[in-house]
Structure 1
Amino acid sequence: MRILVTGGAGFIGSAFVRNVIADAYPGLEGAEVVVLDKLTYAGNLANLESVADSDRYSFEQGDICDPELTAKLVGNADAVVHFAAESHVDRSILGGADFVMTNVLGTQTLLQAALNTKLQKFVHVSTDEVYGSIDEGSWDEQQPLQPNSPYSASKAGSDLIALAYARTHGLPVSITRCSNNYGPYQFPEKVIPLFVTNLIDGRSVPLYGEGANVRDWLHVEDHCRGIALVLGGGRPGEVYNIGGGTELTNAELTYRLIEATGRDESSIERIPDPRGGGHDKRYSVDISKIHDELGYSPQVPFEQGLTDTIAWYVDHRDWWEPLKARSVIDR
């Protein structure tokens, strides 16, 4: 099998690629991987150094909005796993055009290319943020989409286009919607790597308001394993939630990171929430469907995953320092 992985030089995409090349997923042993990545600020070939010499891996720099390039690459693939996206809420509030272009038009361009091939499967990787916010309980996949930020709205649009191609054209598309990811190689504008790297450098961390917003935390290895299950056995035209099962307020997460890095409460800088209505109060996904159909459950305990992640950033300063130095949203 040859798998085209878009956005494969990013945080989650590169984890998936490394695991496929390592034959970590049953049913995908021996698969070849072609990575398509534009190498914007969050794409980093250093994330793929460990597989760069594999004869089952190749890399193509390019834009998913390029119809000629996508037609060529999709035409030579058996399956597409589509990670490529603009994904940061704060950046989308500063300017939404890139999010609409990449997330909506880019997804449509890939889907259109897939129509002209005998593609076995197209997995579109999305986010729980398309559901909006939920005060109690958990969303299942039938929840209406109510996105509140330009980022989540662009992802909701891409989801609907993917489902339309599945229903109108019979394209074998499945969608995954994940909760908040964490783990090694995450770009240091996201909350856990930003806070960890600030704390180990003796700097403060920005906590929005009282830190009451709640997120469900999912280790990237669990997320990618869920994606592999959907690639292997997910039903066309269906959506699958992938969650981690650990809900924390932002304040609870912050205090855990402070304790783990040997700092104290004086490291917290409380600031007004710049996101306004775009900062949803709580996310929580029901994973019954992917559990019952495909046997998924999270395997990485949060405490262990967080400890290992912090240790990775402590040991890989040479990876994150250059990225953080040029990050627009760094504090």
Structure 2
Amino acid sequence: MKWANQHQGGGILTLEGKQVLVTGADGFIGSHLVEALIHRGCRVRALALYNSFNHWGWLDGLACGERIEVVCGDVRDPHFCREITKDIEVVFHLAALIAIPYSYVAPASYVDTNVTGTLNICQAAMENGCQRVLHTSTSEVYGTARYVPIDEAHPLQPQSPYSASKIGADALAMSFFNSFGLPVTTMRPFNTYGPRQSARAVIPTIISQIAAGKASIRLGDLRPTRDFNYVADTCAGLLALAECDAAVGKTVNIGSNREISIGDLFGLIRELMGREVALECDAQRLRPGQSEVFRLWCDNGLIRKLTGFEPRHTLREGLRRTIDWFTDPANLARYKTEIYNV
């Protein structure tokens, strides 16, 4: 097998100078990861979802120069995946459908992209001899916490079609490590926020509505708690795991080891933005009763043990940076604050 011959010899993988593929590079975390990899000295092949407008998502406008090669396509196509992984040393697989509300509407599309897409990337990486595959999971696979903080041994609970598809994708990725020795690490970030995030997510929802001058902010359930991480910290965790040989074959949480309720988060953002706004419950933002995940609090002990990783931004610091970005009129104009986007 081509991969097995290339991987022999071991040694600590360093990203500098590597040819790296990022799937989902046109998205929120993906575009920040591309920038971080460029700064690390990588040459990046960045996959954007094919569209007839030649739109590269958040990659449009990034000043990355000759070190980035943008390609457009779809991870659902196995032949395409074989082509884009040629000459690639490290794969960061982020391409996924992630909107939980839309997974209730179109669950089959989540299986196609998240499960089959992961199969295609792993198969292609194995055939082309990639040195490392970093597969991105989500804390949603844990469902409502049975105990806190949540470590990697916590049971998996498919409380939405989205989380079910990611559980399947995670299992499939790890099967390639167990069956074929493909050097896979499954990275499991808890809730990431920051500039460029979709207005579907709760922090941009609050900030963008306040910034647009809304007198009443529409939200769903205020009781759930989340472990929020600034996007630069999530990307730092991804890079740290990519360079950690001891993480191969493991699933590793990335989080802050802190939680906050959505209600308290709203109060904090309102305080930081200096606005007195009312709160309104929007029924269409509520999940079905058995599907709501009420508590996510990360135990980040494993990533600290493996890599020494610690988040650098407090929630207040990260929110200030995020507010500054969203309140720039040029950035706010990209968002339709009057529409709830599933």
Partner Cα separation in structure 1 for residue 319 and residue 151 of structure 2: 26
- Report if the CA contact (8 A) 2:26-2:57 is conserved: yes
Equivalent in the alignment of 1:138 = 149
Q: TM (normalized to structure 2)?
A: 0.88
**Alpha-carbon distance in structure 2 between the residues aligned to 1:296 and 1:309:** 22
Query: How is 1:1-331 mapped onto 2 (pairs within 5 angstroms)?
Result: 1-23=18-40, 30-38=41-49, 44-52=56-64, 54-134=65-145, 136-203=147-214, 204-209=216-221, 211-234=222-245, 235-266=247-278, 268-272=279-283, 273-315=286-328, 317-324=329-336, 329=341
CA distance in 2, matches of 1:277, 1:229: 35
Check the 8 A contact 2:25/2:31 in 1, yes or no: yes
Corresponding pairs, count: 319
Alignment partner of 2:219: what SS? Answer: strand
DSSP-derived class of the 1:59 partner: strand
Q: How much identity, in percent, do the aligned residues show?
A: 32
- TM-score by length of structure 1 reads 0.91
The CA deviation at 1:174 is: 0.3
**Contact 1:4–1:74, Cα closer than 8 Å, also in 2:** yes
C-alpha displacement of 1:135: 5.1
Q: In structure 2, what is the Cα distance between the partners aligned to 1:314 and 1:21?
A: 27
Whole-Å separation in 1 of the counterparts to 2:290 and 2:59: 34
| Aligned residue number for residue 27 of structure 1 | none
Q: CA deviation at 1:200?
A: 1.2
Native 8 Å contact 1:218 1:246 kept in 2 = no
After TM superposition, the runs of 4+ consecutive aligned structure 1 residues lying more than 3 A away are 43-48, 325-328
CA distance in 2, matches of 1:175, 1:253: 29
Work out the CA distance in 2 between the residues paired with 1:101 and 1:160. 15
| In 2: Cα distance, 1:71 partner to 1:220 partner | 29
AA matched with 1:278: S
- Structure 1 unaligned blocks of 5 or more: 24-29
The one-letter amino acid paired with 1:226 is G
Q: Using the alignment, how far apart are the partners of 2:60 and 2:39 within structure 1?
A: 12
Unmatched 5+ stretches in structure 2: 1-17
Partners of 1:233 and 1:220 lie apart in 2 by 20
Tell me, yes or no, if the aligned pair for 1:188 and 1:320 is still in contact at 8 Å: no
C-alpha distance in structure 2 between counterparts of 1:195 and 1:39, whole Å: 30
**Residue in 2 aligned with 1:26?**
none
Following the alignment from structure 2 to structure 1, what is the Cα–Cα distance between the partners of residues 213 and 193?
A: 22
Q: Distance in 1 between matches of 2:201 and 2:20?
A: 28
